[in-house]
Amino acid sequence: MKTDYLIVGTGAVGMAFADTLLDESDAHITMVDRHATPGGHWNDAYSFVALHQPSAYYGVNSTELGSHRKDESGPNSGMYELAGGPEINTYFDKVMQHRFIPSGRVSYFPTSNYAGDGRIVSLLSGAQTEVTVRRKTVDATWFSPSVPSTHTPQFAIADGVRVIAPNGLPQLWLQHEGRTVPQKFCILGAGKTAMDAAVWLLRNGAEPQSIQWVVPRDSWLVNRLQTQPGLEFFNHSIGGESNKLAAFAEAKSVEEVFLKLESLGQMLRIDPSHNPTMFHYATISTGEVDLLRTIQRVIRKGRVQAIAPDAMVLDQGTVAMEPGTLYVDCTASAISHRKSEPVFGEGRIHIQLLRAPLVTLSAAMTAYVEVHGGDDEHKNQLCQPVPFPKNLLGYVSATQASLMNQFLWSKDNALRQWLRHTRLDGFGKMVAELSKDDTERQAILAQLRTRTTAAMSNMPKLLSAASQV
Ligand SMILES: Cc1cc2nc3c(=O)[nH]c(=O)nc-3n(C[C@H](O)[C@H](O)[C@H](O)COP(=O)(O)OP(=O)(O)OC[C@H]3O[C@@H](n4cnc5c(N)ncnc54)[C@H](O)[C@@H]3O)c2cc1C
């Protein structure tokens, strides 16, 4: 068969890219994925998973996710809704079944492996389809995370030790058997998945003292209040961006950036007595932080190496454990740190991050630039890959690269217009909708622009100060 674009991966990234390509071109698209339904890793997620960010600006450009309502209860109360895993999966499936396939321009190969050189192999029959690609093969797997249910734990587990992925927590009732003794839990890992598992346990009735938590490293967390799309949150979101840039402009070190933002309530940490060394844009509410702070039995001895029935061996020592403890494995790295490469090349596109941390905006933007951006050299100028942070310093590099892209996009009239209207850029739309007569908010916007220049000039100093330590 022949196609214009062969997209490998129907996760959020492949779907957002295809959606914008459909709107902006007449191209025929072929999509292939090992999963049986679109949505990528969300298919394998624990049932209580939810977006970190509001649904309002996640997914594909053409189709709203959620109904733009605010939560009225729970730790996200008062803020815009966060789609859960099942809702996200249904959303992507509907986009495929109700929009892509009926367009007559998308051929979809689920449950199939892309084996390179235009070869698609069915995982069920082994049948092979050869595809001739007229324009480009699109790698939509660059950002693919590792998730608990499909990764292999990197520690030894003795016979009889109970280790489950968070996916198993809602199934615990199956093992109830009239049990009246409280369960004992140990959460392994300190990323957002571990926080989700701990919050789920606490909100479902586990006592804080029944939970132990292995925290190899502490993390700075974005206060979700700063990520809200509605105008009523303007001071938190756009004002928050402005404060962030002021911190980047004034700080002498990257640690100081985070401390300044913490003092403004924009960055959070669970234990204020420990200095975080990790930042992955994990986003959380203060309500969740309050819940997590009730867990006092925190083990800080590095990563787990082995678990025996009565002890756990970690990088920095052994801890006695109560037999029968249920270990919840949250050690999969949700972040892939693949080396970046030019987004556009001869016969191929590698979708990468263009504005941190907005993955689906980056994918849709890549499709827009592919259609309207001229030759590959110009397209690559417009779409410089943004490195995803591995540590605190990565926040400086990611912000710097995102601002550079943003600056170039603002010089391109068509791109600027597209950005003003895309639903995937929550803040861009908010700014576009701001009345010229709203002098108070216009002043915050003007301050943001001034601070951007100051931040950009201080960022190289922050990076070089860190490299000299
Ligand atoms: C718990 C959690 C919460 C998150 N919350 C947010 C959030 O709020 N906002 C946000 O922007 N991001 C969030 N993320 C980041 C998230 O990773 C991205 O939003 C996005 O889902 C990544 O999608 P993807 O398409 O890059 O990867 P995936 O979802 O992994 O999709 C890649 C697909 O490629 C397929 N594939 C790979 N190789 C082949 C091959 N050779 N042949 C066929 N198919 C192949 C895989 O089967 C997979 O389906 C979250 C991540 C996690 C884990």
Domain annotation covers residue 163: yes
Least confident residue range of 176-180, 214-218, 345-349, 394-398? 176-180
Token couple for 270: 């669970």
CA of 367 to the centre of ligand 1 (A): 17
Type of residue numbered 420: R
Q: Which of 355, 389, 423 is the last residue of a domain?
A: 389
Substitution candidate for ligand 1 out of 52, 139, 167, 221 with most atoms within 8 A of CB: 52
Q: Which of 322, 357, 389 is the last residue of a domain?
A: 389
Tell me the pLDDT band of 78, cut-offs 50, 70 and 90.
very high
- Asked if pLDDT for residue 26 goes beyond 80, the answer is yes
- Asked if pLDDT for residue 181 goes beyond 80, the answer is no
Atom of ligand 1 nearest to the CA of 45: 1
Domain annotation covers residue 38: yes
Q: Which residues, in sequence order, are bridge partners of residue 307?
A: 157, 312
HSE of 457 in the Cβ direction (CA atoms, 13 Å)? 5
**Pocket around ligand 1 at a 6 A CB cut-off:** 8-9, 11-14, 32-35, 40-41, 49, 51-53, 58, 113-114, 140-141, 143-145, 147, 192-193, 334, 357-360
What range defines the domain where residue 301 resides? 146-218+274-334
Question: Same domain, yes or no, for 141 and 158?
Answer: no
Question: Same domain, yes or no, for 6 and 128?
Answer: yes
Domain count, the chain: 2
Substitution candidate for ligand 1 out of 8, 111, 120, 144 with most atoms within 8 A of CB: 144
Cβ proximity of 109 and 129 under 8 Å: yes
Question: Same domain, yes or no, for 311 and 377?
Answer: no
Question: 292: domain CATH number?
Answer: 3.50.50.60
pLDDT the model gives residue 123:
98
Tell me the pLDDT band of 182, cut-offs 50, 70 and 90.
low
Question: Same domain, yes or no, for 41 and 150?
Answer: no
Tell me the percentage of the chain whose pLDDT exceeds 90. 91
Token couple for 20: 């914008």
- Asked if pLDDT for residue 338 goes beyond 90, the answer is no
pLDDT the model gives residue 445:
95
pLDDT tens-digit map of 438-465:
999 999 999 999 999 999 999 999 999 8
SS3 8: strand
pLDDT tens-digit map of 402-442:
999 999 999 999 999 999 999 999 888 888 889 999 999 99
CA of 462 to the centre of ligand 1 (A): 32
* Angstrom distances, CA of residue 174 to CA of 168, 179, 384: 10, 11, 50
Give the residue carrying structure tokens 């690269």. 401
Question: Same domain, yes or no, for 300 and 199?
Answer: yes
Least confident residue range of 122-131, 148-157, 171-180, 306-315? 171-180
Question: Same domain, yes or no, for 51 and 109?
Answer: yes
Token couple for 174: 């199956």
Domain annotation covers residue 260: no
Domain annotation covers residue 26: yes
pLDDT the model gives residue 360:
98
Q: Which of 410, 311, 419 is nearest to 365 (CA)?
A: 419
pLDDT the model gives residue 180:
60
Question: Same domain, yes or no, for 101 and 180?
Answer: no
Q: Which residues, in sequence order, are bridge partners of residue 30?
A: 6, 107
Mean residue pLDDT across the chain: 95
Domain annotation covers residue 417: no
Token couple for 356: 């941190």
pLDDT the model gives residue 238:
95
- Asked if pLDDT for residue 308 goes beyond 80, the answer is yes
Residues sharing a CB contact under 8 Å with residue 147, sequence separation 6 or more, in sequence order: 41, 44, 45, 193, 332, 334
For 388-451, give the DSSP string.
Answer: PPSSSHHHHHHHHHHHHHHHHHHTSHHHHHHHHH-TT-HHHHHHHT--TT-HHHHHHHHHHHHH
pLDDT tens-digit map of 271-286:
999 999 999 999 999 9
Cβ proximity of 62 and 24 under 8 Å: no
pLDDT the model gives residue 29:
98
Tell me the pLDDT band of 240, cut-offs 50, 70 and 90.
very high
Question: Same domain, yes or no, for 177 and 318?
Answer: yes
Cβ proximity of 361 and 425 under 8 Å: yes
Domain annotation covers residue 426: no
Question: Same domain, yes or no, for 313 and 193?
Answer: yes
CA of 11 to the centre of ligand 1 (A): 5
Taking residues 134-153, what's their average pLDDT?
A: 92
Domain annotation covers residue 67: yes
Question: Same domain, yes or no, for 170 and 202?
Answer: yes
Question: Same domain, yes or no, for 84 and 178?
Answer: no
SS3 340: coil
pTM above 0.95, yes or no: yes
Q: Which of 370, 351, 408 is nearest to 20 (CA)?
A: 370
Using the Cα atoms of residue 55, residue 57, residue 58 and residue 62 in order, give the sign of their dihedral. Answer: positive
Question: Same domain, yes or no, for 38 and 100?
Answer: yes
pLDDT the model gives residue 433:
86
Scored b (16 or more CB within 10 A) or e, 6-24 reads bbbbbbbbbbbbbbbbbeb
Domain annotation covers residue 134: yes
Cβ proximity of 171 and 322 under 8 Å: no
CA–CA gap between residue 126 and residue 368 (Å, rounded) = 35
Taking residues 217-232, what's their average pLDDT?
A: 96
Tell me the percentage of the chain whose pLDDT exceeds 70. 98
Q: Which of 344, 369, 389 is the last residue of a domain?
A: 389
